[in-house]
Each structure stands twice: as structure tokens, then as C-alpha cells.
């Protein structure tokens, strides 16, 4: 993905968050449109994440380029998820509802483009762990098998954390858009209101998968990296501060967990 594409994607996401307030709660058709886009985006990113985790493992053994590997082994799966999401968007968001209201509300309008930025999530998380140049930072079994295993294990856990976060975020947004449901009984009307759903965790799923007391990211770092004698400054160079020669499991876990956001 080119730099210009990433900047365009970031600008789109920002525009959705900073859109002007709507005049009233969304109609049921409009809620369905927004929820459909959220579900499609979630599926695309989840597919991308699983393929990325697989490609890291392949890279460790066969020295293939991680980013090039994803479309090479999973292009059909990504295409299927993407076109399925686009088809659902067309059905739920184009045209007017029975009352003559547009199915896609202006305040949450993306024209379906939000689906195109889905892979940015996976790339952003890899960047938090590996740095800007993923391929240069990713080690392999020949160079350093322990560090390669450490990187693969932590990346897989971070991607899983992000998947759990997106599911929780979408569940909260769906409830927030509906009238007579918490956390907005009158129905959320703006992206800013929906943004408060970030971190929604009534069942402690995020705490378990990401950065809570049962933090799996830090546990994985401890078990698969520190316990194996892996030099954290080598395995996760991007987590090393300029004034430091080492990084800690906690700092690495927090940085990765913060990047695992929709």
C-alpha cells in the first residue's frame, strides 16, 4: 500500500469522526446501513489479520516478503470478503427507504470507501511492532529462530486483540444507534458519540485479550520472548526509545495494544 493511499485512508477515517452533527436519531434503514458497513469492515480486517499472521510464519521458514505474501496466498479470500461487503453496502445503503429518507445518513456517509481502508488496520499494528520497514525488522529462523518465534507469537496475539476490540466496538455502536438502548437512549447522532464506544468492554473480553489484568500480549511477550532469552531491542526495534538501549515487555505490549484500534 503506497504512502498516498495510507494518507487518503487516514483522511477518510478522520473525516468520518469529525463530521457535522445530524439533526436526529437515525432511521432503522440508516442504522442498518451503518451497521452493515461496520460488519463488512470488520470481516475484511479480520481476514487480513489472519493472513498476515500466517505469512509471518511462512516468512520465518521460507524468507518470503510478509506484505507481498498476504495477497499471494489470500487474494481470493480478501476479494471475497471485500466484494461481499460491497454487495451488502449496495443493498443496505443505496437509495431511499419506505419513508423517502436516504438509507445512508449524511453524517456517517463514506460512500462505501471505509471498506477500502480496512487493511490499514493490520499494517498499522505491524508498524507498531516492527517499525516502518516491516521486512527489514522481521527476523527469520536462520538469522535468529528464538526472536522470529517471539515476533510471530506476539504479532498473532496483537492481531487477535484487535479483532476482539473491533467486535466490542461494533457491538456498542449498534446498540448506541438504536433508540431506547444504552448508552444513548435517544439514539446516537454523531460519530463523536459513537467514538465513546471505543474500549467498550462489559464482559472484560478486551481486558483478557489486550491490555487488562489478564493481558495476553504481555503474557506472550514474557513466555515466548523474555523467557527464551530474546533481546527485545532486536525483536521489537520500534519499541526502543532513542535515549534507551532496551525496551520492556510492558512498553512493547502497550504500544501494540494502543495500535490495535479501529
Say how many Å lie between the first and final Cα of the chain, rounded. Answer: 18
- Express each pLDDT in 118-133 by its tens digit: 667 667 777 777 887 8
Alpha helical stretches, state H, the chain: 3-17, 28-62, 66-93, 119-130, 134-137, 141-177, 191-195, 205-209, 216-221, 232-235, 249-259
Average pLDDT over residues 63-69: 89
Is the distance from CB of 46 to CB of 69 less than 8 angstroms?
no
The more confidently predicted of residues 73 and 209 is 73
Residue 38: pLDDT over 70: yes
Does residue 5 have a pLDDT over 60?
no
Strand partners, 205: none
In the beta sheet, which residues pair with residue 102?
96
Residue 228 pLDDT greater than 90, yes or no: yes
Would you state the pLDDT for residue 90? 92
How many CA within 13 A on the CB side of residue 254? 6
Amino acid 235: pLDDT: 87
Supply the pLDDT for residue 47: 92
- In eight-state DSSP terms, residue 224 is I
Query: For residue 149, what pLDDT is reported?
Result: 95
Mean pLDDT of the chain: 79
Phi-psi region of 104 (alpha: psi -120 to 50; beta: other; left: phi over 0): beta
Measure Cα distances from 41 to 121, 163, 184, 200, 255 in Å: 10, 11, 23, 18, 23
Provide the whole-model pTM.
0.76
List all residues 6 or more positions away from 165 whose beta carbon is below 8 Å from its beta carbon: 206, 209, 210, 260, 261, 262
How confident is the model at residue 236, as a pLDDT?
A: 85
pLDDT for 251: 46
The predicted-structure confidence for 68-108, as pLDDT tens digits, reads as follows 999 999 999 999 999 999 999 999 999 999 999 999 888 76
- What pLDDT does residue 112 have? 66
Q: 183-212 burial by CB neighbour count: b if 16+ within 10 A, else e?
A: ebeebbbbbebbeebeebbeeebbebbbbe
CA distance 131 to 54: 19
Residue 114 confidence class, pLDDT cut points 50, 70, 90: low
Distance CA 68, CA 71 (A): 6
**121, three cell numbers:** 488496520
H helices of 178-244, in order, are 191-195, 205-209, 216-221, 232-235
| pLDDT at residue number 124 | 78
Amino acid at each position: 500500500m503506497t504512502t498516498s493511499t495510507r494518507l487518503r485512508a487516514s483522511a477518510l477515517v478522520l473525516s468520518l469522526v469529525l463530521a457535522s452533527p445530524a439533526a436526529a436519531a437515525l432511521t432503522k434503514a440508516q442504522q442498518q446501513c451503518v451497521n452493515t458497513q461496520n460488519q463488512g469492515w470488520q470481516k475484511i480486517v479480520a481476514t487480513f489479520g489472519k493472513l498476515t499472521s500466517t505469512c509471518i510464519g511462512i516468512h520465518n521458514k521460507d524468507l518470503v516478503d510478509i506484505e507481498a505474501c498476504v495477497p499471494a496466498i489470500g487474494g481470493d479470500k480478501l476479494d471475497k470478503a471485500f466484494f461481499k461487503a460491497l454487495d451488502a453496502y449496495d443493498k443496505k445503503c443505496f437509495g431511499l427507504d419506505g419513508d423517502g429518507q436516504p438509507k445512508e445518513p449524511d453524517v456517517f456517509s463514506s460512500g462505501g470507501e471505509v471498506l477500502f481502508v480496512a487493511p490499514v488496520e493490520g499494517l498499522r499494528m505491524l508498524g507498531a511492532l516492527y517499525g516502518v520497514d516491516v521486512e527489514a525488522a522481521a527476523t527469520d529462523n536462520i538469522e535468529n529462530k528464538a526472536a522470529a518465534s517471539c515476533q510471530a507469537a506476539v504479532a498473532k496475539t496483537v492481531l487477535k486483540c484487535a479483532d476482539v476490540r473491533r467486535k466490542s466496538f461494533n457491538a456498542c455502536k449498534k446498540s448506541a444507534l438504536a433508540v431506547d438502548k444504552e448508552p444513548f437512549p435517544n439514539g446516537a447522532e454523531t460519530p463523536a458519540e459513537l467514538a465513546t464506544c471505543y474500549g467498550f468492554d462489559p464482559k472484560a473480553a478486551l481486558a483478557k485479550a489486550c491490555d487488562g489484568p489478564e493481558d495476553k500480549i504481555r503474557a506472550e511477550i514474557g513466555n515466548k520472548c523474555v523467557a527464551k532469552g530474546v533481546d527485545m531491542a532486536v525483536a521489537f526495534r520500534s519499541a526502543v526509545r532513542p535515549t534507551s538501549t532496551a525496551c520492556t515487555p510492558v512498553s512493547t505490549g502497550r504500544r501494540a495494544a494502543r495500535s490495535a484500534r479501529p
